[in-house]
């Protein structure tokens, strides 16, 4: 209610400013965007500034894609930092080391477009519009790499505006507004929600769904997580997604399985909320159910199949080393002499060769999660996220997801990352600073052998 009242006030201010500036728009505005942006930066009055900010948003909304590219190119070209002012301020501060000269240098470094975006944010729904602008910009970067400076400025501002201190954790259940529930269906990207009945089961008594919201976007989840209250460590996804699965009494559960986490707004890519969400949800659930002993994910391995087919990741020598003790049975099953050819042949339908493929897939999965890299980071983005967040690699599960997507992306493999509160900090430090991957005892022996084989 408070937010709606404030929105009406801002709308009223913008309308009054529009009258003062004699702005008129019918459908798509023909007002020059560059002139609008310059006017917004120079405007001192609150009402006039808010009106100009809204006019910028309206103009942008009706732009075609090529016009939007031109808009961002203008921001890059004409609204960047003043290089000469920076050099002058830097020389002055170097000579004086005076606090006032430091402040002058800080002001000179800030590009005009950052001030522009802050002023756009004063318009009704300004932050929503800016998030949408960045989503558009991210799509342009591959073809327009010079715009990365504009993206860096937007990311800097959004990281401040969506600081953890502003985010509000809310539980989502069947009584949540239909508008938000519909967005969950649309935003779910890990395990597609098939129907409203499917969603209702995911929000039942033995399930939990939590999301972060921002006060400026009260009906827009930024990120949400789905969890199941179960007994023991889940090793397959099907029972967690089965709409006909019997609902258990939550107090009987001893484990929480986080099985889906989804970022919702493309314009907030690269601004991390997930690490805060997992730990806060774990704290909330531990408070609600003191009997919970285990907090774990059941996570996908979305890049595994791609890595297996990449000779720069899984070279012939590495495949032979990792599968040294399984080569004979795999080649016999596939009727091939070469282990690489045998593996690719069996991967066409791994379920049909389940018995012979189960252990080799686990070994390949462990090698992939711990050894395969792109640059300095782990090849698998999900592994990097959870391990840098303080989790440990607990177990690799063969044929845990035999859906068409699961088989295509990961040959059915899924992995448990376990969150142990007293190990968060030490695991994080080991992974981030020493590149050590925390492993369960069951995986440690295999890991040592695979590490040598990988070399």
- Average pLDDT, whole number, for the chain? 91
Q: Distance between CA 438 and CA 392 in Å, rounded? A: 5
Q: Distance between CA 273 and CA 212 in Å, rounded? A: 8
Q: 340 by DSSP, 3-state: which?
A: helix
Q: Which residues contact 222 (CB under 8 A, 6 or more apart)?
A: 162, 167, 211, 212, 213, 214, 263, 264, 265, 268, 273
304-454: CATH topology is: Aminopeptidase (3.40.630)
Q: Distance between CA 169 and CA 226 in Å, rounded? A: 13
Q: Are 247 and 240 in contact (CB under 8 A)?
A: no
Q: What pLDDT digit, counting tens, does each position of 384-441 carry?
A: 999 999 999 999 999 999 999 999 999 999 999 999 989 999 999 999 999 999 999 9
Domain boundaries, the chain: 2-161, 165-297, 304-454
What pLDDT sits at residue 23?
54
Which residue did the predictor score with more confidence, 322 or 453?
A: 322
Cα–Cα nearest to 445, from 362, 330, 356, 355? 362
Question: For the residues 167-181, what does the mean pLDDT come to?
Answer: 96
Q: What pLDDT digit, counting tens, does each position of 2-23 carry?
A: 455 445 544 554 454 454 455 5
The pTM score is 0.87
**Catalytic residue from among 386, 403, 426, 428:** 386
Question: Is 191 an annotated catalytic residue?
Answer: no
Composition of the chain by helix, strand, coil, percent to 5: 60, 10, 30
Q: Distance between CA 395 and CA 401 in Å, rounded? A: 14
Name the phi and psi angles at 43, rounded to 5: -70, 135
Q: Distance between CA 409 and CA 241 in Å, rounded? A: 18
Q: What pLDDT digit, counting tens, does each position of 278-299 carry?
A: 999 999 999 999 999 999 999 9
Cα–Cα nearest to 147, from 82, 200, 70, 49? 70
Angle at alpha carbon of residue 305, lines to 302 and 308, rounded to 5°:
130
Question: For the residues 360-386, what does the mean pLDDT come to?
Answer: 94
Q: What pLDDT digit, counting tens, does each position of 222-281 carry?
A: 999 999 999 999 999 999 999 999 999 999 999 999 999 999 999 999 998 888 899 999
Query: 131-145, 324-338, 365-379, 441-455: which has the minimum mean pLDDT?
Result: 441-455
Question: For the residues 361-381, what does the mean pLDDT come to?
Answer: 94
What pLDDT sits at residue 20?
45
Angle at alpha carbon of residue 127, lines to 121 and 132, rounded to 5°:
120
- pLDDT-derived band of residue 45, with 50, 70 and 90 as boundaries? low
Residue 443's Cβ-side half-sphere holds a number of Cα atoms within 13 Å equal to 23
Name the phi and psi angles at 49, rounded to 5: -65, -45
**Catalytic residue from among 29, 299, 305, 410:** 299
Question: For the residues 161-167, what does the mean pLDDT come to?
Answer: 93
Q: For 165-297, which CATH class?
A: alpha beta
Q: What pLDDT digit, counting tens, does each position of 50-106 carry?
A: 999 999 999 999 999 999 999 999 999 999 998 999 999 999 999 999 999 999 999
Q: How large a percentage of the chain has pLDDT more than 90?
A: 84
Write out the H or E segment, with its range, that includes residue 454: helix 441-454
- The fourth-level CATH superfamily of domain 2-161 is Malonyl-CoA decarboxylase, oligemerization domain (1.20.140.90)
DSSP for 150-193 reads HHHHHHHHHHHHT-GGG-EEEE--TTS-HHHHHHHHHH--SS--
What pLDDT sits at residue 26?
42
Question: Is 160 an annotated catalytic residue?
Answer: no
What pLDDT sits at residue 148?
97
């Amino acid at each position: 209610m408070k937010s709606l009242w404030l929105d009406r006030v801002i709308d009223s201010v913008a309308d009054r400013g529009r009258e003062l500036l004699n702005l008129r728009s019918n459908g798509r505005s023909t007002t020059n965007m560059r002139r609008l942006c310059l006017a917004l930066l120079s405007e001192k009055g609150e009402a006039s500034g808010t009106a100009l900010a809204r006019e910028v948003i309206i103009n942008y909304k009706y732009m075609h894609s090529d016009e939007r590219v031109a808009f961002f190119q203008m921001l890059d070209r004409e609204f960047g930092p003043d290089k000469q002012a920076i050099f002058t301020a830097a020389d002055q501060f170097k000579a004086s080391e005076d606090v006032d000269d430091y402040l002058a240098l800080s002001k000179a470094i800030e590009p005009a477009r950052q001030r522009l975006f802050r002023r756009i944010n004063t318009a009704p729904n300004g932050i929503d519009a800016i998030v949408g602008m960045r989503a558009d910009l991210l799509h342009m970067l591959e073809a327009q790499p010079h715009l990365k400076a504009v993206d860096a400025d937007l990311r800097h501002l959004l990281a401040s505006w969506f600081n953890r201190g502003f985010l509000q954790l809310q539980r989502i259940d069947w009584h949540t507004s239909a508008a938000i529930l519909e967005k969950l269906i649309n935003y779910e990207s890990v395990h597609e929600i098939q129907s409203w009945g499917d969603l209702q089961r995911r929000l039942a008594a033995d399930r939990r769904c939590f999301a972060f919201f921002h006060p400026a976007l009260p009906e827009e989840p930024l990120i949400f997580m789905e969890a199941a209250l179960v007994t023991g460590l889940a090793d397959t996804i099907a029972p967690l997604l089965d709409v006909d699965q019997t609902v258990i009494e939550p107090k009987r559960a001893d484990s929480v399985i986080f099985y889906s986490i989804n970022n919702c707004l493309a314009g907030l890519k690269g601004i991390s909320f997930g690490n805060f969400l997992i730990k806060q949800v774990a704290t909330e659930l531990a408070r609600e159910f003191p009997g919970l002993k285990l907090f774990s994910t059941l996570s996908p391995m979305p890049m595994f199949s791609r890595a297996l087919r990449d000779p720069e990741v899984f070279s012939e020598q590495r495949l032979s080393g990792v599968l040294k003790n399984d080569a004979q049975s795999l080649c016999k099953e596939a009727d091939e002499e070469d282990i690489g050819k045998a593996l690719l042949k069996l991967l066409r339908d791994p379920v049909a060769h389940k018995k012979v493929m189960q252990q080799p897939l686990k070994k390949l999965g462990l090698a992939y999660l711990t050894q395969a890299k792109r640059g300095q980071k782990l090849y698998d983005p999900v592994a990097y996220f959870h391990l840098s967040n303080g989790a440990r690699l607990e177990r690799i599960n063969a044929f845990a997801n035999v859906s068409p997507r699961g088989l295509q992306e990961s040959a059915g493999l899924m992995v448990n990352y376990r969150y142990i509160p007293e190990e968060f900090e030490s695991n994080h430090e080991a992974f981030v600073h020493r590149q050590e991957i925390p492993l369960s005892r069951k995986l440690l022996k295999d890991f040592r052998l695979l590490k040598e084989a990988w070399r």
